[in-house]
Structure 1
Amino acid sequence: MPLLILDEVSLAYGMHPLLDGASLSVDAGERVCLLGRNGEGKSTLLKIVNGDVTPDGGRVKLEAGARLAVLPQNLPTGDERTAYDVVASAFREAGELLAEFHALSQQADEASLDRMTKVQERLEALDGWRLDQKVNAILKQYQVNPDARLNTLSGGWQRRVLLAAALVSEPDILLLDEPTNHLDVPAISWLEDTLSQFRGAILFVSHDRAFIRRMATRVVELDRGQLVSFAATYDRYLDLKEKALEEEERQNALFDKRLKQEEAWIRQGIKARRTRNMGRVRALKAMREERRLRRDRGGNASFVVEDAARSGRLVVEARGAGFAYPDGKRVIEDMNLVIMRGDKIGLIGENGTGKTTLVRLLLGELQPTEGQIRLGTNREVAYFDQLRGELELSKTALDNLAEGREYIEINGQQKHVLGYLQEFLFSPERARSPVSVFSGGERARLMLAKLFSKPANILVLDEPTNDLDVETLELLESQLVQFSGTVLVISHDREFLDNVVSDTLALDGSGVVREYVGGYTDWRRQGGRFSAELEEASPVPVKKTEAPKPAKAEPALRPKPAKLSYKLKLELEQLPGKISELEGAVEALQQEIGDPEFYTRPQPEVAQKLEQLADTEHQLESTIERWMELEELGNP
């Protein structure tokens, strides 16, 4: 018997139906991934299952006695409870008493001791000390300080505490809404391992493709109010979904063709009307009603990044740069780095290792406390904030973007603000809704719309993939790859990094910044590991402050990848043609300059040709060096 059954569930807000007779069953041990576009109602569906939202129709049935726990999508704001209190709250009355006992134990007055005695008696009746052991055990497992207050923790550590609260009661059904948001990669890997051992059923919403591939035993898509189940892996689901959409388009086209023919028949002349078949007329009316009720799949997002004027060829150069806060905490140490125009740089590291500090140094917002950082010229920076802090929740999407304007200019073209928002899948009605009612994915799309409405040649993206649906995420990847400017990305989305970045900067918390060619997978192939993994692998705890510094004069000693990433393979394939083209250009210029009559030309023309030859020879030399570098990397 299924643990969870949804039978013909319906829910609508105004004229917008989120669920339209949706049905689903989840069996014990299944790990079901719920997919769908932003705003389709995935989070609302989880709230219906959890009992936080009552559907307009249908029924939701849990197996008798089944325990259910949930990890919310959004982090709490201003929660002053300790981590212990948050996790203990999973046990309701016993949790409240444990939290009270924990607080009273910090006091020494007589009234507190009297109260502790009463609380202790009640806890013994509820088997509370066994629950206390479970709370402390899971906090230790998560490496969380029980006395840390939630509002003082970073987003990643808050997520750990909430995960502990969801799992400590050992539920039969676990609901997860974007569980990898705000987690670093080691925490995501730990989460994957933990959930893989969980014996209950899991219903989760995620857009982390690597996480879905590892976790999902079945994929269910929420599409236009209906739940469609695919008993397949994620990659197989993608193939099946593509075929299903093609078949749907074919059937719709046939239906529309027949409808058009019937409409033409009904409008024939007087003689035809006298002899028309009334059954055919009724069939036409039914076809009209079917077409009216058909919910077409919405279009895909179609945004582009607006380029500013090109920055200088050098974006930033660091020589022996370091940074320490006034309290003496050293975050960056002895960094040597050069970033050129067009580089796509990914930053990898556990939460708290200094990625944001590094970005602020590279942008010139912080000054190094040692060494030098030289900034390039003509830099126009656009910043994507993972906390969506630039959005005013009380204002509409239109007001957040327009800022008093009716038209905005994108790559030299005037666009109406409403039309521009439609490219990000906001209908005019939705664009006039307050941001406070938006889902996490809709807020992320609005942040992208705001980001890309301003010209920039340097994009800084801090966790841009959180909450984005897969289709928008793939479009963002393609736009970033095509963007002619420089991109700095802080992300824990492993597949996103592989698809976008050309180089990776890895921080391990010791202050050392190491540079690697390629994305996340390439970093792994080159021996990249997180400090948490080093500590687990070592019988003696590894002290971060003792991490070895890379030698400045021996960059060639870095490990080489076993094979190239797709992007680097493509670049390697294109380089011979580029070399041949440059060699031809050099030969043509040398022949022209070798002509005895060449130096009789006007001096400015002679100087221009000589400079052109020098530039082309330099390009040829650089291209050959790059080809040799990639050849060596691909054949270690």
Structure 2
Amino acid sequence: MTIINTNALGVTLGDPLFSDLNLTVSKSDRIGLVAANGRGKTTLLDCLAGEHDPTTGDITYARGLRVGYVEQYVPDEALGVTLYDWVLAALPPEQVDFESWRVDVVLDELSVPDEMQHKTLGELSGGWQRTAMLASVWVKEPDVLLLDEPTNHLDLERVALLEAWLGNLPRETPVILTSHDRAFLDATTNRTLFLRAENSRVFNLPFSAARAALDESDAADERQLANDMNKAKQLRRQAAKLKNVGINSGSDLLLTKTKQLTERADKLEAAARPVHRERSAGDIKLVNSGTHSKALVTLEDIEVQTPDGRVLYKTGQKWISRGDRVVLLGANGTGKTQLVSLIQKALMGEDDTVKCAASIVPAFSDQHLSMLSAADTPISAVTSNFSIGDERARASLAGAGINFQMQSTNIDALSGGQKARLAMLLLRLRNPNFYLLDEPTNHLDIEGQEALEAELIDNDVSCLLVSHDRTFLRNVGNRFWWIKGKRLVEIDDPEEFLRGEMARG
């Protein structure tokens, strides 16, 4: 049964975000909405939720349909409210006294511990804030659920809980969601919409299978376009020959045939379907300046401690050598951040607990992109830290997806994707030979994640990285360290750890 139908839907904000979109949403649908950063995913969800008017086309809803929309950002007014009270306030006033039990049911379904329920949202992590937003929408019992980046800030355990929760939803409740987490899309969707400025495509497949089908479809379009244009060129050649013969011989028949061939060529060219060219959100480029040192980082069975001195685990003897892409695995709270911090301090010469090769040129990025100052501008961030001219700096920023107008605005005004690409540019300009990366895929769209993967692998980069993105760590890592109990152990692949984390969820 169709409950939402879009007809020739389009939105133009300066440039077209999408156009002529025809989409039917039925009761059993779990639709993954995929596009690069800034290409209209949130705008489409806003339109479906009735919060944004489309530029063209219309949307038809089943009678009485209740749309639940979990937006990406927490409103400021929520930060001073406890999680429980925020969900309770979502109920209509006349239901609060008699149906507050529904809040308890929803929070139990979403596995929210009691101690979290009575903290203000401002005290909670981004992951728990996302859970509060979801609960406040689900408690109203919507008929269709729209989720904008629901996995943002979630650790693997919470991602597993969300996957399980979505899998247990009533079949008659359709879900439309955006996410840059490829494994999550594969686990939770059965249809995929690739949103484009023109010729958006829908496949009745989860993301990975749909992506392969899209690539084949685009390749077929490219072959068809080349074939049509080749036919049109041949027709024009024939027409030119006949025209010369017709003029020289005075044959009206040949001149008529010339006109017919030209018209056929015109029709072929006019009907030729343009091949989709994805407009890049900006390049991600890394470098590896190389080093003669074999062991770049050495851990001599050091103790990793909490800030108050409690021992979390011992590392044993570990080395990071040239070409190693070490993924640090561990549940939340086991001490990944503490080890990363120890290594960072050692690289900066502030601590000698960890031994680092003298030839190391480090580059460090954390999940909050703290190397970026919100009040700084992209151009000053480049020119004040590196000895490159203004022209080269501006060209580098443009290549990273930050246009001339944005280069002199505060970094705080950039999108999450632009900030992430700026951070990667600043790392590259250091000309490093060792990278320390904490959640580097945060804020990156799928295109950006794949570009970062390719750069790390193709440049034979040496790095230690932390990531909750299952696809990314599987693709990039060639060594894996697992904080298991009180020891740091090396394992051949991450699957046992990932299975355990997903099972805990």
Shorter-chain TM-score bucket reads: 0.7 to 0.9
Deviation at 1:248, TM superposition (A): 0.9
Distance (whole Å) between structure 2 residues aligned to residue 366 and residue 430 of structure 1: 33
Q: Match for 2:85: what amino acid?
A: D
Distance (whole Å) between structure 2 residues aligned to residue 382 and residue 439 of structure 1: 22
Deviation at 1:365, TM superposition (A): 5.8
Give the conservation status (yes or no) of the 8 Å contact 1:33–1:204: yes
- Per the alignment, residue 521 of structure 1 pairs with 495
Distance (whole Å) between structure 1 residues aligned to residue 314 and residue 35 of structure 2: 46
SS at structure 1 position matched to 2:27? coil
In proportion to residue count, which structure has more helix? 1
Higher deviation after alignment, 138-147 or 179-188 = 138-147
From 491, 495, 504, the equivalent of 2:467 is: 491
Distance (whole Å) between structure 1 residues aligned to residue 10 and residue 133 of structure 2: 30
Deviation at 1:305, TM superposition (A): 1.7
- Per the alignment, residue 4 of structure 2 pairs with 4
Give the conservation status (yes or no) of the 8 Å contact 2:284–2:448: no
- The verdict on how the C-alpha distance between 1:173 and 1:432 changes in structure 2, with shifts beyond 3 A counting, is farther
Q: Match for 1:518: what amino acid?
A: D
- Per the alignment, residue 247 of structure 1 pairs with 220
SS at structure 2 position matched to 1:213? helix
Rg bigger for which structure?
1
From 335, 340, 359, the equivalent of 1:354 is: 335
Give the conservation status (yes or no) of the 8 Å contact 2:316–2:488: no
- Per the alignment, residue 174 of structure 1 pairs with 145
Q: Match for 1:27: what amino acid?
A: S
- The verdict on how the C-alpha distance between 1:201 and 1:311 changes in structure 2, with shifts beyond 3 A counting, is farther
From 148, 155, 166, the equivalent of 1:184 is: 155
1:44-55 equivalences in 2 (<5 Å): 44-55=43-54
- Structure 2 gaps, min length 5: 248-254
Partner deviation per Cα, 1:461-489 (whole Å, 9 max, x = no partner): 22222343334323322321233442111
Higher RCO (C-alpha under 8 Å, 6+ residues apart) = 2
**2:453 is the alignment partner of 1:482:** no
**2:88 is the alignment partner of 1:88:** yes
Deviation at 1:87, TM superposition (A): 2.1
Give the conservation status (yes or no) of the 8 Å contact 2:313–2:483: no
1:374-523 equivalences in 2 (<5 Å): 374-391=355-372, 399=379, 402-403=382-383, 416-417=392-393, 420=396, 424=400, 439-507=415-483, 512-521=486-495, 523=497
- The verdict on how the C-alpha distance between 1:518 and 1:165 changes in structure 2, with shifts beyond 3 A counting, is farther
**2:313 is the alignment partner of 1:333:** yes
SS at structure 2 position matched to 1:164? helix
- Structure 1 gaps, min length 5: 95-121, 537-636
Distance (whole Å) between structure 1 residues aligned to residue 291 and residue 76 of structure 2: 40
1:101-116 equivalences in 2 (<5 Å): none
Give the conservation status (yes or no) of the 8 Å contact 2:228–2:269: no
Deviation at 1:39, TM superposition (A): 2.9
From 149, 153, 168, the equivalent of 1:197 is: 168
Partner deviation per Cα, 1:265-295 (whole Å, 9 max, x = no partner): 899999699847666666666667667x947
Q: TM-score, normalized by length of structure 1? A: 0.67
- Per the alignment, residue 21 of structure 1 pairs with 20
- The verdict on how the C-alpha distance between 1:324 and 1:233 changes in structure 2, with shifts beyond 3 A counting, is closer
- Per the alignment, residue 188 of structure 2 pairs with 215
Give the conservation status (yes or no) of the 8 Å contact 1:3–1:28: yes
Partner deviation per Cα, 1:527-557 (whole Å, 9 max, x = no partner): x845993xx9xxxxxxxxxxxxxxxxxxxxx
Deviation at 1:298, TM superposition (A): 2.8
Q: TM-score, normalized by length of structure 2? A: 0.82
- Per the alignment, residue 149 of structure 1 pairs with 120
SS at structure 2 position matched to 1:38? coil
Distance (whole Å) between structure 1 residues aligned to residue 388 and residue 174 of structure 2: 48
**2:277 is the alignment partner of 1:297:** yes
- Per the alignment, residue 250 of structure 2 pairs with none
Partner deviation per Cα, 1:300-351 (whole Å, 9 max, x = no partner): 776542123427333333334234455x362633332422222211122233
Deviation at 1:83, TM superposition (A): 1.2
Distance (whole Å) between structure 2 residues aligned to residue 230 and residue 531 of structure 1: 27
- The verdict on how the C-alpha distance between 1:41 and 1:297 changes in structure 2, with shifts beyond 3 A counting, is same
Deviation at 1:404, TM superposition (A): 6.8
SS at structure 2 position matched to 1:317? strand
- The verdict on how the C-alpha distance between 1:89 and 1:266 changes in structure 2, with shifts beyond 3 A counting, is farther
Q: CA RMSD in A?
A: 4.1
Paired residue total: 492
Deviation at 1:145, TM superposition (A): 1.8
Distance (whole Å) between structure 2 residues aligned to residue 396 and residue 284 of structure 1: 52
- Per the alignment, residue 56 of structure 2 pairs with 57
Deviation at 1:262, TM superposition (A): 6.7
Deviation at 1:426, TM superposition (A): 6.3
Give the conservation status (yes or no) of the 8 Å contact 1:266–1:273: no
Give the conservation status (yes or no) of the 8 Å contact 1:331–1:353: no
Distance (whole Å) between structure 2 residues aligned to residue 400 and residue 23 of structure 1: 44
Distance (whole Å) between structure 1 residues aligned to residue 381 and residue 59 of structure 2: 39
Give the conservation status (yes or no) of the 8 Å contact 2:314–2:488: no
- Per the alignment, residue 322 of structure 1 pairs with 303
Deviation at 1:492, TM superposition (A): 0.9
SS at structure 2 position matched to 1:255? helix
Distance (whole Å) between structure 1 residues aligned to residue 238 and residue 405 of structure 2: 37
Give the conservation status (yes or no) of the 8 Å contact 1:259–1:284: yes
Distance (whole Å) between structure 2 residues aligned to residue 172 and residue 262 of structure 1: 56
Higher deviation after alignment, 23-32 or 298-307 = 298-307
Distance (whole Å) between structure 2 residues aligned to residue 167 and residue 219 of structure 1: 23
- The verdict on how the C-alpha distance between 1:93 and 1:384 changes in structure 2, with shifts beyond 3 A counting, is farther
Deviation at 1:196, TM superposition (A): 0.2
Deviation at 1:514, TM superposition (A): 2.1
SS at structure 2 position matched to 1:479? helix
Give the conservation status (yes or no) of the 8 Å contact 1:347–1:505: yes
- Per the alignment, residue 229 of structure 2 pairs with 256
Partner deviation per Cα, 1:66-88 (whole Å, 9 max, x = no partner): 22223333456682222123322
Partner deviation per Cα, 1:137-175 (whole Å, 9 max, x = no partner): 457645652221222222233233233333333322111
